[in-house]
Amino acid sequence: MNVFRALSWGYNRPFTDSSEPAGCVLWFHVKPTSALHVMAELMFSALTEEALAGEIHKLDRSLQFAPPVQYTVATPALFFKKPTHYPGFMGEYIAEELARYGVSCIPADDDEVNGFARIHARLRPSPAGPWLTVSNACDHLIKSMGSALSHETNPDELALPLPAVTALRFGVMSRPSPTLEVQQVAAPPFGTPAYFMKRERDAASGQRMFGQAK
């Protein structure tokens, strides 16, 4: 299964809405058709990097998918930025701490105009089925998408910060590629023509490793 995460970071709740969590992690499944399915969400506030990584790993285990998550896109502000005129030492960044606890991240594309355009494109109908679906377990994302309002002067941006919608935008903008399911082919029975043909192909394509006896 082709799975990735999107992380919208926050520690303190937005002052504009005390009931809104500070951050969100979404889990995406990329289907062979390149359609996206949001499998799960994790809403959080006031979590250290270690605590957040622990919650992420816990949800990973509960989802029981394989292979592991392919990548995690996250808020660009979490990453080291090369200083141009800074003479001292740079402190540790949040992305470094998350990686230390087993959640390696890459910077997300934080372009709101293009990001929300991609979400709208995913929400359009398609003959092959929906390009974006959301699990019923993602209560906060569903609520946020229904209540999101445009900014008064910049209609292509949000009026209020909504971590779940931001994480969705990060995920959609990460250019996920479809993965075809690999079918396991049973080995041909011993003694059959297919068995001997496979043995000959394997022998012809095999190479002796360094130090291996002939």
CA pair distance 158, 165, nearest whole angstrom? 9
Confidence of residue 43 (pLDDT cuts 50, 70, 90): very high
CATH 3.30.365.10 correct for 2-172:
no
Which pLDDT value is given to residue 160? 74
pLDDT in the model for residue 184: 44
The most confident of the ranges 5-14, 16-25, 47-56, 59-68 is 47-56
Nearest alpha carbon to residue 39 among 186, 138, 131, 141: 138
pLDDT tens across 150-169, in order?
Answer: 767 776 667 577 899 999 99
pLDDT, one tens digit per residue, over 6-31 is: 999 999 887 655 678 999 999 999 98
Residue 208 has pLDDT above 50, yes or no: no
Residue-averaged pLDDT of the chain = 82
Sign of CA dihedral 92, 93, 98, 102: negative
